[in-house]
Structure 1
């Protein structure tokens, strides 16, 4: 199997009953999970990951971005504290922010600071001699797309391109780093059950659903990823790769949720990403399942039920990562 088809997990920590970090790492090793995404540099978790062989995406929390954007020195200080001080952790990417957008009330203020923070972080990595080992990116939601249907018509929202997306894409092109993209089929399905079938949303459609020129789509996941590739091409990012930094299906708490629905989606996701998309056939997609363990402090209710495991470490259903 191609090394980059390795599916990992997101480990969100908004729960008050989560197992201790060492047990979480042991759980991952037991289930042959070799990649993990953390949303912030939680020192206890990073310590537990030392020497584990698990490859890590670590997030720069949104509240640190303003400071890092101001100087390479600030980026170096962050790097020293969170990366260099954690020798023995296999860091793969640093994600500067999660789902920041100029259109989002909560994060609009720091959106213009993301590109300079990315440049400073890369400069700090180069100075530390890690520029070839750790890649810098940012995790974006598919809300950045103005159009996604048909996939070949994919384009970014023009109003956020000049000050936000274009500098990010230019950085990724020049650095040959990937774009981290959070890809959910659950929410589009819930919002538009008239046009989107459950089969199309969960990789279970027996036949082609969308024909788009030479490309044929049997699942919504491929259509979203390829729409983003089309948008990247139109924005000068034709050779930027997409890493799916979040994807999953909830097991309870809303429409079309069940343990079985979550099992079907996540099992199919792991198998499917090995083969790429119609636009990038045979090119395995690196993907991360959201979420490792249910997070009971999240709201609304639907947000509490994305884990592969319950907080007591029991798997909700059998799933194979190897």
Structure 2
């Protein structure tokens, strides 16, 4: 009996340890609607070079699957809408598809998700009724091979699957999709698969710029919206749209289904009427998105909730129809050079050296709080800088060298400048929704040394260098170390119990 208790308790704490060490991840979508892209093997090399661990493709292309073999990159593969009919009609078709499209390459190629259909509610063909039968057949095929716990099955959706998304607490699914949504949600809940959603704040801003501010779409904390039903404060549209999905799920009593973002991003170029489609805005959105996600802050309605996302997309795709922006969502040109540089870890400084980026000053400059900014705006910007902005703000804590003078403007100035210097000392990095201003005079005083030209912050003794990501990284390290120590102590106690 004691042995059984020890085993059960040990298993519980092992699961607790695994859970505490998990976190959100950043992936990328690898679309291939172009005639000038590099070969899949070169793409796999590019992905590894940039330490990208998760890639979504929209089919099960043999050359792509072969290229990613033994790379350690986890793939999400897809069943196109055109194949839904055959896979939904007969189990044998799903068995054959899995045998021919997955098994020859698995597990050398790490396939972790299969998306059955993509944004079917947006399709001109009425294929939504085929989705759940096709998903069920694919899952059955996986079960026959014992792979159903290693490869999850789901389907992706556009935000158009909602009839209402604002305020977030009023989020509701479109009743016209109820015939397939309810059985699909039951499928997801039963099989612990995520609800996959494609979210684009860019479109909301482009189509309603008179109602949606650019700052709100780009994660700039100076812009905020309060949900009148819950009182929850939203500083960006991304969180608001995610919570609208969660509230829509809860309204149907699906409270255990997790949300995964299978597409999001911002275009770097557009037609004349798409003025927000610029390299600067694309870099700002994706940089802030990455930092927001890896900090595991969750959303106002789901604080601390893990949220995995895939950025759209790896390359510009010259064969995509529509406005100019449709062909310019890529992080890379087909020749594999960067459209703009992006740090996928979200922890280091952004490389602002590409010609596409904003101009930099040729002389040293600093970023401080504007004297014209309101206290509310300053506080919001300071909170953002010390939170999602990933700034180490220990120097402005009590007893630290930059705590005095103890006022909002002084503390905000230190945090603003740290973010500014860590992110290339560019104009956009000192905006803070209009609460930041650039100056040419060093604001350092006494032992409070302001970062300059990307140098590290120094604390009380002026000798301890702190990297730009130390605060959030140390929190993760301390959390992991604490849990490991806890488990070691617990196992030591169990050992003594067993011996006694």
TM-score by length of 1: 0.96
Question: Residues 127-166 of structure 1 correspond to what in structure 2 (within 5 A)?
Answer: 127-161=144-178, 163-166=179-182
C-alpha displacement at 1:182, in angstroms?
Answer: 0.3
Equivalent position of 1:291 in the other structure: 313
Equivalent position of 2:298 in the other structure: 276
- Distance in 2 (CA, whole Å) between partners of 1:215 and 1:206 is 16
- Distance in 1 (CA, whole Å) between partners of 2:287 and 2:27 is 12
Pick aligned residue for 2:96 from 54, 74, 77: 77
The question of whether the paired residues in 2 share the 8 Å contact of 1:2 and 1:284 is answered with: no
The question of whether the paired residues in 1 share the 8 Å contact of 2:215 and 2:223 is answered with: no
Equivalent position of 1:206 in the other structure: 222
Equivalent position of 1:302 in the other structure: 325
Provide, for residues 252-309 of structure 1, a one-character-per-residue CA deviation record: whole Å limited to 9, x for no partner.
Answer: 0123011111000011111112321111111221000001010011122211000011
- Distance in 2 (CA, whole Å) between partners of 1:117 and 1:285 is 26
Q: Which runs of 5+ in 1 are unaligned?
A: none
The question of whether the paired residues in 2 share the 8 Å contact of 1:68 and 1:121 is answered with: yes
Provide, for residues 203-250 of structure 1, a one-character-per-residue CA deviation record: whole Å limited to 9, x for no partner.
Answer: 013253233414210000000010011101112321110110000000
Task: Identify the structure with the greater strand proportion.
Answer: 1
Equivalent position of 1:188 in the other structure: 204
Pick aligned residue for 1:46 from 48, 51, 65: 65
The question of whether the paired residues in 2 share the 8 Å contact of 1:294 and 1:306 is answered with: yes
Question: Residues 2-17 of structure 1 correspond to what in structure 2 (within 5 A)?
Answer: 3-17=22-36
Equivalent position of 2:112 in the other structure: 92
> Aligned pair 1:168/2:184, yes or no?
yes
- Distance in 2 (CA, whole Å) between partners of 1:4 and 1:11 is 23
Pick aligned residue for 1:257 from 249, 273, 277: 277
* SS in structure 2 of the partner of residue 5 of structure 1: coil
- Distance in 2 (CA, whole Å) between partners of 1:153 and 1:128 is 42
* SS in structure 1 of the partner of residue 227 of structure 2: strand
- Distance in 2 (CA, whole Å) between partners of 1:29 and 1:58 is 18
Provide, for residues 73-116 of structure 1, a one-character-per-residue CA deviation record: whole Å limited to 9, x for no partner.
Answer: 21111111111011211111100011001xx45232x1101011
Please say which of residues 275-284 and 86-95 is displaced more in the overlay: 275-284
The question of whether the paired residues in 2 share the 8 Å contact of 1:169 and 1:236 is answered with: no
- Distance in 1 (CA, whole Å) between partners of 2:252 and 2:96 is 33
Spell out structure 1 runs of 4+ moving beyond 6 A: none
C-alpha displacement at 1:197, in angstroms?
Answer: 0.2
- Distance in 1 (CA, whole Å) between partners of 2:298 and 2:310 is 15
Pick aligned residue for 1:312 from 331, 335, 359: 335
- Distance in 2 (CA, whole Å) between partners of 1:105 and 1:93 is 22
- Distance in 1 (CA, whole Å) between partners of 2:28 and 2:306 is 16
TM-score by length of 2: 0.62
Pick aligned residue for 2:243 from 218, 226, 231: 226
Distance 1:135 1:154, change over 3 A: same
* SS in structure 2 of the partner of residue 122 of structure 1: helix
Provide, for residues 30-87 of structure 1, a one-character-per-residue CA deviation record: whole Å limited to 9, x for no partner.
Answer: 1110000000111111100101100011010111111111122211111111110112
The question of whether the paired residues in 1 share the 8 Å contact of 2:219 and 2:285 is answered with: yes
* SS in structure 2 of the partner of residue 299 of structure 1: coil
- Distance in 2 (CA, whole Å) between partners of 1:235 and 1:12 is 33
Please say which of residues 150-159 and 230-239 is displaced more in the overlay: 230-239
- Distance in 2 (CA, whole Å) between partners of 1:294 and 1:2 is 35
